Structure 1
Amino acid sequence: MSEHATVQAVTFGLGDEVFAVSVTLVREILDYAPAFRVPNGPGWLLGLTDVRGQGVPTVDLRVRLGLTPAEPTLSTRVLIVDVPLADRTVSLGLVVDRVLAVTTFAAERLESAPDIGMRWRSDYIEGVVREPEGFVVVINVAEIFSRDDIDATALAAAA
């Protein structure tokens, strides 16, 4: 990696925790609106969100990461992300408590996730960045929504 390599990410909050996802995955950020419910989906699947005529499966990222569900507020947003898979790209809406910023940090600041002391599966985490206010957890969206999960979401969306 070059000494000047940087990572651009959208940072967002879930409760007191700060997370980030690569800006290259984020297509847009929408104000929260209730999703159109889809029957028989996994508990974290809220339903479909209409994004310019396309039904995008929308998930409660808090629930998917094992956090306590929370009622939407005026700060709640939906990140529309394009998740690259081996054979295609899947669009998902991620409901987050609040979007904080688009930020850039030096790639060498990205530390590997500790094996213990984190409440999320380590394969969900690309790494952590130490900031004065605490850690920013950089998530791997493709791992959080593994192929089986995305196939289940796609099937539920098609129902």
Structure 2
Amino acid sequence: MIKAGQDIFCHEKPGVIGAVIRYQNKNCVLTVQHLLKVGGCTIGDKVLLNGRPGMVLEIWMDYDLAVIEVRAHSSQMEFSLLGEPEIGPAYTLHGEEKNHCQIMTLGKTYHYLAFAHTALPLPGDSGSPVIQEGKVVGILLSVFYNNAAGLAASLQDLPLN
């Protein structure tokens, strides 16, 4: 089953699936573009998602996100429920590990998050879904270790049609 929070590999470099979506009538996932770039991945490159093949379909530089087409039947995908974020408690997800945070500000492009100083996401956690009430409301882009803050891409204005 392919679902948000799982690892994605491009040229053996890991990333995290931020959301599983239907995009242009294709089964796709969203992840951060900067982790793919570290692995030298770009449009057309092959990726591996939980043993299933995929391909980088699009890169949205304005959001630091990439769309990956997954070559798997819909029955093997756990599609993400996308939601509108609210200021308040949330968590990021990488594998089975939940990292609790607070959504501090809302924006059309980015949301600011606050984490406990004792439970900061690691650099490889970029791309993790930000979840509130069972819905993906953003995708973790970066963490500022000096003040335990994070930045998440908003899903509100993405060209998901």
State TM-score, norm by structure 1.
0.32
Q: Comparing both chains, which one has the higher relative contact order based on Cα–Cα distances under 8 Å and sequence gaps of 6 or more?
A: 1
Could you say which structure has the higher strand fraction? 2
